[in-house]
Amino acid sequence: MSILIKKNKASFAIEYCMLIIILVAALLLMQYYIIRAFAGRWRTTGDVFGFGKQYEPDVTVVCEGEECP
């Protein structure tokens, strides 16, 4: 009986190790897509602040105080 219990404990440990290995492999394979999703989300959030406009050093006017047009 104790041999059966030890065998079950060992098989559970192997199953958990395999599960962790599969999860890590899946995350490593999907790493590119996850990074792209985060970058796209950050860009969308940043575009909301600028109303879709981007900063251009030669064209963008910086206003200070009441001197703004």
pLDDT digits (tens, 9 = 90+) for 4-17: 556 677 788 888 99
Distance CA 22, CA 29 (A): 10
- Per the structure, the complete domain to which residue 41 belongs is given by 1-69
The predicted pLDDT at position 13 comes to 84
Q: For the residues of 48-66, what is the DSSP string, one character each?
A: HHTTT----TTTPPPP-TT
The predicted pLDDT at position 44 comes to 80
Residue in the structure block whose two tokens are 């989300």: 41
The predicted pLDDT at position 30 comes to 94
| pTM score | 0.49
Number of structural domains found in the chain? 1
